[in-house]
Each structure stands twice: as structure tokens, then as C-alpha cells.
Amino acid sequence: MLRHDRMSEEEKAPEGAAAEALASRLAAAGDEEEVEELLRRMADETAASPDTLRLALEIADKRRARLRTRWGRILLQLRQMDFATRRTVASAFLGSLAGLTYALGIQLGDPAGLATIAQIALVGLAVWNLALTRKKELGMLAGAALGASYWVGVAFFSGIIALFQPELRHEVDGWRIIPCFFIGGLLGYLIGLWSDRILQLRFQHDPQKRRQFLLQQLIELQEQLRAGEQSVTFLSVDVEGSTEIKTAADPLAVEYSFGEYTKYVQEVTKRHGGRLHSTAGDGVLLTFEHPHQAFMAARRLQAGMLEFNAFRNRTGEAFQVRCGIHTGTVVAPGGRTEDVNYSHVIDVAAHAQKAAPPGGIAITEDAAVFVPGGPDGISPTRVDVKGIGAVIWQSQAAMAAGPAETPPPPPPVRTN
């Protein structure tokens, strides 16, 4: 019901504002003839009948009258709360009332059973309120608030009654708030878990309302699944010919060099505000908030490979990397892009990396438009990546020098 409540408030807000504006304009008018003339003008401007405008005026007057009372202001504040807060506050309020009825029944006596009946009614309202949470986590929170406020109400109102009627003093164990807290939380969890079945009771004789209820559930589920949507840029990096390098080089040199390579990529990524998403062999997938960050990191990776091969590579074969960049919207549970494993954006970045030449960068046009200068400012070279246009960047030095210079082989391993 979260979506339903929020939609109702959002839809009613403009109507209330329009009614307030109408009431203000009519209040500023003079006699009845001026009011009728103003209503006719408004009817022409809004395509609404004068009777509809008069009804809006009456609603606005009643709304202002309600707001002038303390109870009306309290209701307005409750409506302005978010859904979770409103359900929790309602649980605490009902728990306090149940505590009051229990204290009255114990200390003043309950020969007619009225306090018991009131408690049963309040429990029913509390169960319905917990069912409206529609989530077991929120139900557990509201249930814990219900249980704790119940015993707080018992202790508070027992103390108040004893203050004015000392002979009715009744000892209350304050430690019982702990089991009440946990029992209420467990009750709220179970009710939130079965809330759909409880709420269906009011729709079992009305198929149209039942259909509307299911549509609301569908919209809520879609919103929850899309709650983690965000725009992310992926940079895919891979070493060209890594299998041949690993086959020809000493295993220890391979382990050391590829470990240093991973460290080097992480250093550059961190320097440009990115994060490591995952690794697969010598392939590395990185995430950035903005395509320009990813592009600058890829350029820094390529520019530093000469230094890496000279000082950190011990395989005897030069490392050449290919980079692919793509940006798009992904659904990240809890906002953690590290948990995104199946996404079209990741696939396109990987395909772009395969389309890049050794020592080059392939950045899709979707990402290149966010780089200063745009795609044309990067390079005139275009390629197709699974139906998506991409721009190829390669340094002038790399294009002129051709294949990277092979570093000297490591010294032989001395064995005793």
C-alpha cells in the first residue's frame, strides 16, 4: 500500500493547492455578483463548470476549518510523514492506548469487560496496521514499536493513576518491556510476511477492487526492483596475447608480473575515482561514475605500460592492453555496483574492449558524448560494437612505434 498512499497524497496535493488558490481569489472578491463573475471567468479559463468550482471552494473552506483545529493539524502532520514512519507511529500510538486500557482494567477493575473489549479492538487495529506495511522488515519494526509502547503505556498510565489514587497503586515490572519488544517484532514480521493474504479479505467480493489491488502490487514491485537504478560507466581492460605470455614464461615470473599488473591497474583506477568491479584471469572490469573519468584512466593505463614493462614485468614479453568503455543504466541492489553481474552495459564494454587494437581504447558513442570534445574530439576512427557505434583512440606514439618493445628476459633462476 506504500505506492497507493503516496500516489493519493501526490494526486490530492495539486487539487488542494488549486482549491486554496481559488478560495483566496474568491475571498478577495466583493459582493455576490463579483463572485459569480469571477466564477464564470474561471470556468472559461479552466473548462470546468461553475458548480465544480463552487464545490472546490467548499472543500477548501472545510479543509481550512479542519486545519484550524489542533486535531486537524495533527492529521496534516501525519499525512506529511513518509509511509514507514506513519505505520510505525500508528503502531506506537495503538500500543500506548492498549497499555492505557490494561492499566485502567487492572487498577480500576473491569467488571463489565469494557477494558478487555477495548484491548481486543485495539489489537485488531494494530494487526491491520501491521498488515498495511506489506513488508516483513517494516512489519517487524512497527511490531517492535507496538510491543514496546504497550508496556511503556502500562507503566506510564499505572503511575499516573497511582499518583492521584495511591490506594490503587499496582506494581509494574519494567523489565517486561524487553519480551514485549521482541514478541511485538516477531508478530509484526509474521503479519508483514502474510500481509497480502490479510489485505485480500476486503477484495474477495469485489473483482474490480481485487484487480486494482494487484496492479498496485505490480507497480510497487517494479519500483522496488528499479530502486537501485543508476548510471555507471564500465571500463574493461585485458592483456593482449596473455595465454602465449603465460605459456612461454617462467611460472613464478608470470605470477609476479600479472600480480604487479593488477596492482598497477588498481592504482590508476583509484587515482581517477574508479573502483574495481571484478577480475577474471588477466581481464579486469572497473566502474566509474562518469565516462570522462573512465577515459582518462584508460589513457593513463596505456601511457604507463612502457614504464610497467620496463620495471615491473618479468615475463620477457611486453604487456599490451586493450580497453573498452561503455556507459548506461544498471540496477545495483543497495546502490552497490560491485553486485551487478548481469548487465547489457557490462557486455557492451567487454565487446568494445575486444574491438580495440592492442594499446588502444574503444569507447562507445554513448560514453564518448560525455567526454570533452565528443566522439569527433577523440578520433575519426569508428567501429561497430554489436550494433553500437564506437570510437577508437590510440596514441600517436603507439601508432608510429608499432608493436611495443620487448623487455629484456629475467635473469636465470639459480638453483643449488
Contact 328, 294 (CB under 8 A): no
pTM: 0.50
Residue in 77, 52, 76, 79 with CA at minimum distance from that of residue 66 = 76
- Each residue's pLDDT, cut to its tens digit, for the chain (416 residues) gives 333 343 333 333 444 444 455 555 555 555 566 666 666 666 665 556 666 666 666 666 666 565 556 555 555 565 666 677 878 888 888 888 888 888 777 767 766 678 778 888 888 888 888 877 777 787 888 888 888 888 888 888 777 777 776 665 666 677 778 888 888 888 888 887 777 666 665 555 567 766 776 677 677 666 666 666 788 899 999 999 898 999 888 999 999 999 999 999 999 999 999 998 888 878 899 999 899 999 999 999 999 999 999 999 999 889 999 999 999 888 776 666 776 777 888 999 999 999 999 999 999 999 999 998 899 889 888 999 888 999 999 876 555 444 444 444 444 444 44
Beta bridge partners of residue 323, listed in sequence order: 237, 361
Cβ-based neighbours of 313, under 8 Å, separated by 6 or more: 257, 260, 261, 319, 407
Distances (CA, A) of 351 to 117, 137, 221: 69, 41, 32
User: What is the rounded CA–CA span in Å between residue 147 and residue 149?
Assistant: 6
Residue spans of the domains in the chain: they are 2-79, 83-193, 229-401
Grid cell for residue 248: 612461454
The separation between the first and the last C-alpha atoms of the chain, rounded to the nearest angstrom, is 76
Grid cell for residue 374: 565528443
Our CA dihedral for 258, 260, 261, 264, rounded to 10 degrees, sits at: 170
Distances (CA, A) of 238 to 152, 157, 183, 220, 273: 62, 70, 55, 41, 20
Q: Does domain 229-401 have CATH number 3.40.50.300?
A: no
Cβ-based neighbours of 306, under 8 Å, separated by 6 or more: 404
User: What is the rounded CA–CA span in Å between residue 123 and residue 146?
Assistant: 10
- How far is C-alpha 170 from the geometric centre of its chain's CA atoms? 48
What is the b/e burial string over 59-96, where b = at least 16 CB atoms within 10 angstroms of the residue's CB?
bbeebeeeeeeeeeeeeeeeeeeebeebbbbbbbbbbb
DSSP 250-315: -HHHHHHHHHHHHHHHHHHHHHTT-EEEEEETTEEEEEESSHHHHHHHHHHHHHTHHHHHHHT--S
